[in-house]
Amino acid sequence: MTHNNLFSALRAAFPADMSATAVETDEGLRYSWQDLDRATAMMANLLQSLDLPGGSRVAVQVEKSVEAMVLYLACLRAGCVFLPLNTAYQSAEIEYFIGNAEPAVVVCSGANFGWVSKIAFKAGTQHVFTLNDDRTGSLLERAAHHSDQHTPVSRQADDLAAILYTSGTTGRSKGAMLTHGNLLSNALTLKDYWGWTSTGGPDGRGDVLIHALPIFHVHGLFVAIHGALINGSKMIWMAKFDPKRVIARMKEATVFMGVPTLYVRMLAEPSLDKAAVRQMRLFIAGSAPLLIETFSEWQQRTGHTILERYGMSETAMLTSNPYAADPRYANQSERRGGTVGFPLPGVSLRVRGDDGQDMPVGEIGGIQVQGPNVFKGYWRMPEKTAEEFTTDGFFKTGDVGKVDERGYVTIVGRSKDLIISGGYNVYPAEIEGYINEMPGVAESAVIGVSHPDFGEVGVAVVIAKPGASLKPEAIVADLKAKLANFKIPKRCFVVPELPRNTMGKVQKNLLRDQYKNLFSA
């Protein structure tokens, strides 16, 4: 049965005219649907020629390119498990992921081949390929020798399609295992809920998506790519987000997806006005809270109401504001700023108190979810997986929120100690661990502070050991040498002591309050 392979479902939605453009890069390169089909076949044949054991992981740390997307699709097609890695990760981070996931194949950029291959071979990986963002690299050279015909490998809905590492509030990162069934069910739900259309776009060919997000997280990899492919819609492909370029290309597009920072940056552009967006049908935001100011300013400037939705690596999309009045969802017609809308069809969502009881309407508690999109568990962490699910099978998101009388879900905070900065997750515990190991450091606390561009950024507050002298710049420089750049605290303070409660626990809420205006104008 090949029909449970997610690739087969995406492929089945390719339009009849395979010569039409599927992806156009911002530099003007065009890839037809035929090109995508053939390129994924060649790469899938290459992967299969390696004779990998079933369920083999393919770990990928490469710059964004259409070929990188082809590699993802080829992994699905060949029945491998795709493991995307943020390009900002440095060697200690990569060493952990590769050591933990034990991928059979690692793909990295040519520039990083030296250090990445060393880590990979040490961890027992047999095959390391390179893939650059200029259509070069050993992966493409090798794939070129393979046939452009390929039958997708049979997969069941419960078979793994991808592992996405998400950092933990305690301990190391956990690999969220997502199945073909998880991803396909979510893609089909969103196609319907967001009203994707195959006709009626600017060129009469239906929706056109501007893809400007990185492709190593749920948002850019699954929500955006699946959304376009399963509707047979063209993508305008941007390797990096540039607000001017996105606005310039809106006249050829209908759908845009972004984290709030992208909307904030576009609002700073004078070229953003009603004329620039006249072809656009839908602006979607998620991955971090969208400030009501951004929501309202966007409405005023463009006449469009941003549709905010909520999801996570472990679950793909969970809730969404409505696209339009739909007779099936009679009470759900309005996109309400400050809310993340309604549980998507098929998703059960409940809000529970610390005692495990359902909270009354409008009251705050922990958000728990269940549905065909909810992941299979954490890679090789059965105890951790069991901890995160209730006995009746709901996943504890770690987000804190409420549901109002009309059913709108609002997220008010997180029970997990997590900072979301420009849509990337930063776990204070990880950064504190690195700081606490530095000579002369007694202890530290990393907190999230409001930031006009990134929404929230990390700030480190550090205590020196008696007699030690610490320089904030040296602490930051040390972190920069070891960690992905987006995790580096934007400011660091060395102070005499941390506020504590009677139990001796550091009161981060007091620190957050103390530093809350650090980045305000």
Give the binding site for ligand AMP (CB under 6 A): 166, 218, 286-289, 308, 310-313, 340, 397-399, 411, 414, 420, 425
**Residue 486: CB minimum distance to ligand MLC, A:** 4
d(CA 130, CA 84): 14
Q: What is the Cα–Cα distance from 425 to 56, expressed in whole angstroms? A: 27
Pick the closer one to ligand AMP by CB: 117 or 415: 415
Taking CB within 5 to 8 Å according to partner kind, which of ligand AMP, ligand MLC, none is near residue 486?
A: ligand MLC
The Cα 378–Cα 470 span in angstroms is: 38
Give the contact letters, 424-443, x = binds to ligand MLC (CB under 6 A), - = no: x-------------------
Which of residues 65, 167, 186, 261 is near ligand MLC by CB under 6 A?
261
What does the per-residue mask of binding to ligand MLC show for 447-466, with x meaning CB under 6 A? -------x--x---------
Residue 17 or 242: the one with the smaller Cβ distance to ligand MLC is 242
Nearer CB in complex with ligand MLC: 82/424: 424
What number of CA atoms fall less than 13 Å from residue 350's CA on the CB side?
A: 16
Q: What is the smallest separation between the CB atom of 358 and ligand AMP, expressed in angstroms?
A: 20
- Please identify, using beta-carbon distances, which residue of 57 and 451 lies nearer to ligand MLC: 451
Could you give the CA distance from residue 219 to residue 212 in angstroms, rounded to a whole number?
10
SS3 for 203? coil
CB-wise, 104 or 459, nearer to ligand MLC? 459
- 97 vs 241 by CB, closer to ligand MLC: 241
Nearer to ligand MLC, 106 or 312 (CB): 312
Q: How far is the CB of 479 from ligand MLC (least distance, A)?
A: 11
**Cβ(222)–Cβ(189) below 8 Å:** no
Closest distance to ligand MLC from the beta carbon of 123 (Å)? 26
∠ CA 433-437-440, nearest 5°, is 130
Does residue 213 touch ligand MLC according to CB under 6 A?
A: yes
Is the distance from CB of 42 to CB of 34 less than 8 angstroms?
Answer: no
Q: Which of 220, 260, 289, 489 binds ligand MLC (CB under 6 A)?
A: 220
- Report the SS3 class of residue 253: coil
CA angle 108, 85, 446 (to 5 degrees): 130
Q: Is 312 in the site for ligand MLC (CB under 6 A)?
A: yes
Indicate the angle between helix axes 66-78 and 33-49, nearest 10 degrees.
60
Sign of the dihedral through C-alpha 409, 411, 412, 414: positive
Residue whose pair of structure tokens reads 């998506």 in the numeric block: 209
Shortest separation between residue 425's beta carbon and ligand AMP, angstroms: 4
- Residues 59-98: x where in contact with ligand MLC by CB under 6 A, - otherwise, as a string: ----------------------------------------
The one of ligand MLC, ligand AMP, none whose footprint includes residue 411, by CB under 5 to 8 A per kind, is ligand AMP
Contacting residue, 79, 175, 201, 214, with ligand MLC by CB under 6 A: 214
Beta-carbon contacts of 257 under 8 Å, excluding residues fewer than 6 positions away, are 209, 211, 213, 219, 220, 223, 224, 227, 284, 285, 286
Find, among 258, 213, 222, 487, the residue nearest to 375 by Cα. 222
List the single partner that 220 binds among ligand AMP, ligand MLC, none, CB under 5 to 8 Å by kind: ligand MLC
Contact residue for ligand MLC among 64, 217, 249, 335 (CB under 6 A): 217
- C-alpha distances in Å from residue 480, one per residue of 89, 224, 435, 469, 497: 11, 31, 11, 20, 25
Select from 211, 185, 192 the least CA-distant residue to 4: 185
Does 4 interact with ligand MLC (rule: CB under 6 A)?
Answer: no
Under DSSP, the state recorded for 419 is E
Q: Which residue in 480, 478, 479, 441 sits closest to 462, CA to CA?
A: 441
Among 331, 348, 436, 485, binds ligand MLC (CB under 6 A): 485
Binding segment (CB under 6 A) for ligand MLC, from list 196-204, 274-282, 360-368, 422-430: 422-430
Kindly list the distances between the CA atom of residue 513 and the CA atoms of 212, 333, 383, 458, in Å, as whole numbers in the listed order: 34, 37, 35, 14
Given 150, 219, 281, 416, the residue binding ligand MLC (CB under 6 A): 219
- The reply to whether 519 sits near ligand MLC by the rule CB under 6 A is no
Residue 201: CB minimum distance to ligand AMP, A: 26
Contact letters (x/-) for ligand MLC, 189-208, by CB under 6 A?
--------------------
> Do 14 and 231 form a contact (C-beta atoms < 8 A)?
no
Find the shortest distance in angstroms from Cβ 306 to ligand AMP: 10
Instruction: Name which of ligand AMP, ligand MLC, none residue 214 binds, using a CB cut-off of 5 to 8 Å depending on partner kind.
Output: ligand MLC
The least CB distance from residue 382 to ligand MLC, in Å, is 24
Count the helix, strand and coil residues of the chain and give each as a percent rounded to the nearest 5. 30, 25, 45
CA distances from 481 to 419, 477, 478, 488 (A): 21, 6, 5, 10
Query: Per rule CB under 6 A, is residue 237 in the interface with ligand MLC?
Result: no
414 contact, one of ligand AMP, ligand MLC, none, CB 5-8 Å limit per kind: ligand AMP
Give the HSE-up count for residue 427: Cα atoms under 13 Å, Cβ half-sphere.
Answer: 16
**What are the residues binding ligand MLC (CB under 6 A)?**
213-214, 217-220, 240-241, 259, 261, 286-287, 311-312, 421-424, 454, 457, 485-486
